[in-house]
Structure formats: C-alpha cells, structure tokens
C-alpha cells in the first residue's frame, strides 16, 4: 500500500523566473483550495573552483538578482510563503534535503521533445516517492 501525498504543504522548486512564476500561480490556487501552506525552495548552486592548494569554496556570487526574483515570486502568490534557500551542488540535492516523504512538488519550465533538465528533475523526484506537477510556463504567461 502506498503512502498518500502530504497535502498540508505545497512545495515550489525555484527553476527559472518565468517557470517559477507559473508554478507559484498554480501552487497558490491549490493552497487556497486546500488550506495547505506554501513553501518555495530556492537552490543556490555552489561552484568549486580549482585552486593551487586544492578545491575551495568560491566567494559567493552576486545574489541581488536572485533575491529580487525570489521576492517577485513570493509576491505573486498573494499568500504567506515559507522560503528555503539551499546552497547545494545540484538542484536535486536541495530537493532531497528540503522535502518531507511523499511531498507534493510543483516545478515550472518549458517542455521540449528532448528531455530537459527540469523533466529529469521531475523523474528524479518521482523516483524518490514525491508527487510532481510540471507546469508548462508557456501555458501560464501573465
């Protein structure tokens, strides 16, 4: 018997600004209908440049644009949003750390006849037992 999806929380993975805005619109509508709380998970990919003494964590890049984009996405929801910024090597790593078992996750992006990075992320999350809704950003242009 499979464990049911947790609907007390709706998770949105920050992908691109346009994709995340589309995903947040869908997530906010679901949250209003179900009374679930919203979480925005924003992976911040860490880079590790090679130095003469070995690997070292790079100085944090300019994050002003990322912060501004995150604020825009949160404002779009029109509801309180819990924000989790995760420094990680891969987006899937951030999801693995932030998500509870059998979470509902909404990701936004574009579909292609070739598998995209986001579609691979969707399959990875589903293989971990999460329910993933992929929102095609082209269908939700504001």
Q: What pLDDT digit, counting tens, does each position of 48-97 carry? A: 554 444 444 444 455 568 888 889 999 989 999 999 988 887 887 888 88
Domain range enclosing 96: 6-140
φ/ψ of 111, rounded to 5, equals: -90, 150
pLDDT at site 53: 45
Task: Please indicate, yes or no, if residue 1 is contained in any of the structural domains.
Answer: no
SS3 125: helix
Residue 44 pLDDT grade (very low, low, confident, very high; cuts 50, 70, 90)? confident
- Is the model's pTM score more than 0.95? no
Identify whether the C-beta of residue 88 lies closer than 8 Å to the C-beta of residue 45: yes
Task: Please indicate, yes or no, if residue 27 is contained in any of the structural domains.
Answer: yes
Q: Comparing 128 with 111, which gets the higher pLDDT?
A: 128
Reduced DSSP (H G I as helix, E B as strand, rest coil) percent helix, strand, coil of the chain, to 5 = 40, 30, 30
Query: Which CATH number does the domain housing residue 46 bear?
Result: 3.40.50.620
Task: Please indicate, yes or no, if residue 63 is contained in any of the structural domains.
Answer: yes
pLDDT at site 40: 95
Task: Please indicate, yes or no, if residue 130 is contained in any of the structural domains.
Answer: yes
* Tally of structural domains, the chain: 1
Q: Comparing 1 with 93, which gets the higher pLDDT?
A: 93
Task: Please indicate, yes or no, if residue 80 is contained in any of the structural domains.
Answer: yes
């Amino acid at each position: 018997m499979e464990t049911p999806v947790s609907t007390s929380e709706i998770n949105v993975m920050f992908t691109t600004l346009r994709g995340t805005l589309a995903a947040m619109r869908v997530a906010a509508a679901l949250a209003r209908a179900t009374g679930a709380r919203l979480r925005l998970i924003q992976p911040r990919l860490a880079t590790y440049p090679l130095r003469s003494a070995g690997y070292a964590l790079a100085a944090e890049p300019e994050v002003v644009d990322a912060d501004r984009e995150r604020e825009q996405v949160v404002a779009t929801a029109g509801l309180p949003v819990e924000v989790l910024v995760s420094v990680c090597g891969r987006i899937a790593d951030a999801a693995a750390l932030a998500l509870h078992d059998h979470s509902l996750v909404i990701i936004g992006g574009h579909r292609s006849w070739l598998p995209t990075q986001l579609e691979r992320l969707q399959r990875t999350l589903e293989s971990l037992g999460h329910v993933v809704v992929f929102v095609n950003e082209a269908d939700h242009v504001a």
